[in-house]
């Protein structure tokens, strides 16, 4: 059964800015700036501005901190990458100096390079750090290798600093990201509240409130559109859902076909229509609930069945 498009109790600002601080910054700034323009002449604009501005300032400050930390993290990660990229040359130098004292066929050499140079030059970052540490431990107090040990120790100390700073930076970025997410949601909540206040103030002519929200930008942001043709008497996968999407998700489905098609959820992209599906009438444009298409808690693939043996199906699915 077709459902209404409008979701009354969905915070459209949160949906439009989810997973995109670029969208959030644009939408929040437009709202605050447009309210500020009218704040000296419109009491409701001033009220909404005073509600939103503190939340927006907190978001901006948190986002700036997050961006700065993200850049710092990128620098720390890059430093570690540069260290590892140049590591084979260092290992060659260490080995050459050690071979002068302990040739390749000696027991000591085999202890120091039991697996050759592979542990130093390949594998995870942690394993490569461990390989250098193991080499230093195996050299121990051997006075004949004192000079080369100093060289290796110097490299290891610098390497360890880069490695640890990288991990610390990543942890800090994660913390800052969580803080920014809190400020994003708080700003979305106050915008939803302002939306209600403005609609109440302009209830006789709601369009007067539209200038305080970038509706066109939000509309483009919210929709993911899939256009497809389904062959005669066949089933085609339309999209794969991620379960981060709300279980109450809706789809606008536009059919340009002259036949009825069926849309359903499945655990496989090759799944066939079962007992639960929605029928899409010919030449129609309606809104449907995800829950009506199958088990929205387990089935991730949204498939389209064209049962007609004579004509192709032409359909567009818009994720709302």
**3-class secondary-structure state, position 15:** helix
pLDDT at residue 71 in the model? 46
Distances from the Cα of 199 to the Cα of 94, 190, 192, angstroms: 74, 14, 11
12-21, 156-165, 239-248, 275-284: least confidently modelled range: 239-248
Task: Grade residue 248 by pLDDT with cuts at 50, 70 and 90.
Answer: low
| 265 in Cβ contact with 293 (< 8 Å) | yes
Mean pLDDT to the nearest integer, 230-234? 90
Q: Is residue 1's pLDDT more than 50?
A: no
Largest CA distance in the chain: 94
> Which two structure tokens, joined as six digits, stand for 291?
């829950």
| DSSP for 149-209, written as a single string | HHHHHHHHHHHHHHHHHHHHHHHHHHHHHHHHHHHHHHHHHHHHHHHHHHHHHTTTSGGGG
Of 13 and 176, more confident: 13
| 35 in Cβ contact with 45 (< 8 Å) | yes
**Angle at Cα 232 formed by Cα 229 and Cα 238, nearest 5°?**
35
What are residue 268's phi and psi, to 5 degrees? Answer: -135, 150
In angstroms, the CA 272 to CA 89 distance is: 57
| pLDDT > 90 in the chain, percent | 18
In angstroms, the CA 120 to CA 124 distance is: 10
Of 75 and 303, more confident: 303
Of 179 and 276, more confident: 276
Of 42 and 226, more confident: 42
Instruction: Tell which phi-psi region holds residue 140, choosing left (phi > 0), alpha (psi between -120 and 50) or beta.
Output: left
Mean pLDDT of the chain: 81
User: Is the domain defined by 223-319 classed in CATH 2.60.120?
Assistant: yes
Q: Is residue 268's pLDDT more than 60?
A: yes
pLDDT at residue 284 in the model? 86
pLDDT at residue 297 in the model? 86
**3-class secondary-structure state, position 309:** coil
pLDDT at residue 43 in the model? 93
Give the containing element (helix H, strand E) for 295. Answer: none
- Pairing type for strands 261-266 and 313-319 reads unpaired
Q: Is residue 230's pLDDT more than 70?
A: yes
pLDDT at residue 202 in the model? 92
- Helix extents (H) in the chain: 12-17, 21-38, 43-85, 87-101, 107-112, 118-121, 125-139, 146-201, 215-222
The 10 Å CB-count burial string (b at 16+, else e) for 286-314 is bbbbbbbbbebeebbbbbbbbbbeeeebb
Task: Grade residue 238 by pLDDT with cuts at 50, 70 and 90.
Answer: confident
Q: What is the pLDDT of residues 67-107, one digit of tens each?
A: 554 444 444 456 667 777 888 888 899 889 888 889 988 98
In angstroms, the CA 229 to CA 256 distance is: 10
Q: What is the pLDDT of residues 99-147, one digit of tens each?
A: 888 998 898 888 888 888 888 888 777 888 888 888 888 888 888 888 8
Task: Grade residue 5 by pLDDT with cuts at 50, 70 and 90.
Answer: very low
pLDDT at residue 262 in the model? 93
Give the domain ranges of the chain: 11-222, 223-319
Q: Which residues have a Cβ under 8 Å from the Cβ of 176 and sit 6 or more positions away?
A: 62, 65, 66, 69, 70
């Amino acid at each position: 059964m077709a459902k209404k498009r409008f979701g009354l109790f969905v915070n459209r600002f949160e949906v439009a800015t989810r997973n995109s601080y670029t969208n959030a910054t644009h939408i929040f700034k437009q709202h605050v700036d447009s309210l500020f323009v009218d704040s000296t002449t419109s009491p409701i604009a001033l009220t909404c501005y005073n509600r939103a501005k503190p939340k927006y300032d907190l978001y901006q400050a948190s986002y700036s901190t997050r961006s700065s930390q993200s850049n710092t993290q990128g620098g720390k990660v890059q430093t570690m990458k540069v260290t590892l990229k140049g590591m084979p040359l260092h290992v060659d130098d260490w080995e050459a100096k050690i071979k002068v004292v302990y040739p390749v066929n000696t027991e000591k050499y085999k202890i120091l390079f039991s697996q050759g140079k592979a542990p130093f030059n390949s594998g995870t970052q942690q394993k490569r750090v461990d390989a250098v540490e193991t080499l230093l431990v195996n050299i121990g107090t051997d006075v004949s290798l004192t000079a080369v040990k100093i060289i290796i120790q110097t490299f290891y100390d610098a390497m360890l600093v880069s490695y640890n700073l990288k991990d610390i930076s990543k942890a800090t970025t994660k913390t800052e990201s969580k803080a920014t997410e809190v400020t994003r949601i708080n700003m979305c909540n106050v915008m939803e509240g302002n939306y209600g206040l403005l609609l109440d103030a302009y209830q006789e002519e709601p369009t007067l409130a539209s200038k305080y929200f970038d509706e066109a930008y939000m509309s483009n942001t919210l929709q993911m559109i899939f256009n497809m043709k389904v062959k005669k008497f066949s089933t085609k996968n339309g999209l794969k859902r991620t379960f981060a999407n709300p279980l109450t998700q809706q789809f606008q489905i536009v059919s340009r076909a002259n036949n009825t098609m069926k849309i359903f959820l499945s655990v496989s992209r090759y799944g066939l229509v079962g007992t639960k599906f929605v029928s899409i009438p010919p030449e129609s444009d309606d809104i449907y609930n995800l829950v009506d298409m199958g088990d929205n808690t387990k089935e991730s693939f949204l498939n389209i069945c064209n049962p007609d043996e004579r004509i192709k199906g032409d359909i567009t699915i818009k994720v709302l």
